[in-house]
């Protein structure tokens, strides 16, 4: 049996200054079976040309161009085109360290989800993050016990430190909410977590996330009226997980606590 194909999904928007570093980090992975889906989301710079330049050099790259709809819409477009057994989402201004994809593919055997460590980078520093400190496998019950302790942390709510099984996404038609300005990744994860049965945690840094102080994610999170609406959606999605698992009464106060907090870090 051959190696499983991994669909690497990259939304691209005005990313010409950082896109090369991102794509080089993906294409230079020591895991060969990749399809890299670049969705140019209405960029106004030379991002689309750069996408086509890379596609001309590497047949593993697929380029899709569409009008601007935000990262959720771009990822939905990529999901419709993906053919891999596994899914890995990355952002065009970040990089993937060598060996990351291979490590996650190895860990995915028999699992529905892999969660790994990551590094938050700023111009001044870099710090490693990861709530589960050792390699560990959890069944659904154990995973939900761990998740509820800090469900809003990047470790659980971000996409880029994880690998997903595409069959789960397609079986339950899981897609991104493209009507909100942040939190679409967290909502996707909570929709996916409804169906997770086996999870493996690995204590390896698989992603370098370059935090920007300005920009959509940070600027919009503090717009109170929009933030309340988004937090309400996430709260309802979190509640649904525990209601359907029969654990809502047990974790009632932890579920309620989520609506009171905006977690920016783990």
Interval 165-188: pLDDT, tens: 999 999 999 999 999 888 999 999
Q: Give the whole-angstrom CA distance, residue 80 versus residue 50.
A: 23
| DSSP calls for 47-89 | HHHHHHHHHHH-TTEEEEEE----HHHHHHHHHHH---SEEEE
- Domain-wise residue ranges, the chain: 1-96, 97-161+176-266
For 34, the token pair is: 């990749």
For 194, the token pair is: 């409804």
112 in Cβ contact with 223 (< 8 Å):
no
Q: Is the pLDDT of residue 111 over 70?
A: yes
CA atoms within 13 A on the CB side of 227: 15
Collapsing DSSP to helix, strand or coil, 150 comes out as coil
Across 75-90, average pLDDT: 98
Strand positions, DSSP E, 97-197: 113-121, 126-129, 136-139, 162-165
Confidence at residue 122, expressed as pLDDT on a 0 to 100 scale: 87
Q: Is the pLDDT of residue 74 over 80?
A: yes
Least confident of 8-12, 68-72, 216-220, 253-257: 216-220
Instruction: Look at the alpha carbons of 162, 165, 166, 168 in this order and tell me if their dihedral is positive or negative.
Output: negative
Domain covering 1-96, topology: Spore Coat Polysaccharide Biosynthesis Protein SpsA; Chain A (3.90.550)
CA distances from 185 to 31, 153, 174, 248 (A): 25, 12, 11, 23
Confidence at residue 231, expressed as pLDDT on a 0 to 100 scale: 87
Confidence at residue 127, expressed as pLDDT on a 0 to 100 scale: 93
Interval 192-217: pLDDT, tens: 999 999 999 999 999 999 976 543 44
pTM for the full model? Answer: 0.93
Please give the share of the chain, as a percent, with pLDDT higher than 90.
83
Neighbours of 255 (CB within 10 A): 20
Interval 16-25: pLDDT, tens: 999 999 999 9
Q: Give the whole-angstrom CA distance, residue 8 versus residue 101.
A: 10
User: pLDDT-derived band of residue 44, with 50, 70 and 90 as boundaries?
Assistant: very high
């Amino acid at each position: 049996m051959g190696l499983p194909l991994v669909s690497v999904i990259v939304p691209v928007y005005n990313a010409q200054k950082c896109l090369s570093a991102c794509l080089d980090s993906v294409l230079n992975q020591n895991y060969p079976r990749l399809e890299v889906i670049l969705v140019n989301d209405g960029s106004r710079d030379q991002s689309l040309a750069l996408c086509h330049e890379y596609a001309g050099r590497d047949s593993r790259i697929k380029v899709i161009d569409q009008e601007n709809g935000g990262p959720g819409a771009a990822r939905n477009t990529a999901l419709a085109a993906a053919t891999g057994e596994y899914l890995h989402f990355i952002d065009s201004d970040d990089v993937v360290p060598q060996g990351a994809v291979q490590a996650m593919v190895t860990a995915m055997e028999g699992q529905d989800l892999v969660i790994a460590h990551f590094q938050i980078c700023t111009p001044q520093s870099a710090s490693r993050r990861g709530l589960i400190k050792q390699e560990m496998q959890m069944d659904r019950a154990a995973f939900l016990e761990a998740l509820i302790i800090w469900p809003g942390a990047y470790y659980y709510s971000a996409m880029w430190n994880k690998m997903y099984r595409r069959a789960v996404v397609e079986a339950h038609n899981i897609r991104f909410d493209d009507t909100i300005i942040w939190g679409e990744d967290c909502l996707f994860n909570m929709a996916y977590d409804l169906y997770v049965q086996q999870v493996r945690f690995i204590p390896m840094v698989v992603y370098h996330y370059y935090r920007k102080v300005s920009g959509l994610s940070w600027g919009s999170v503090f717009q109170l009226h929009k933030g309340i609406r988004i937090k309400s959606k996430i709260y309802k999605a979190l509640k649904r997980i525990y209601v359907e698992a029969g654990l809502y009464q047990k974790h009632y106060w932890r579920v309620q606590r989520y609506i009171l907090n905006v977690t920016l870090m783990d």
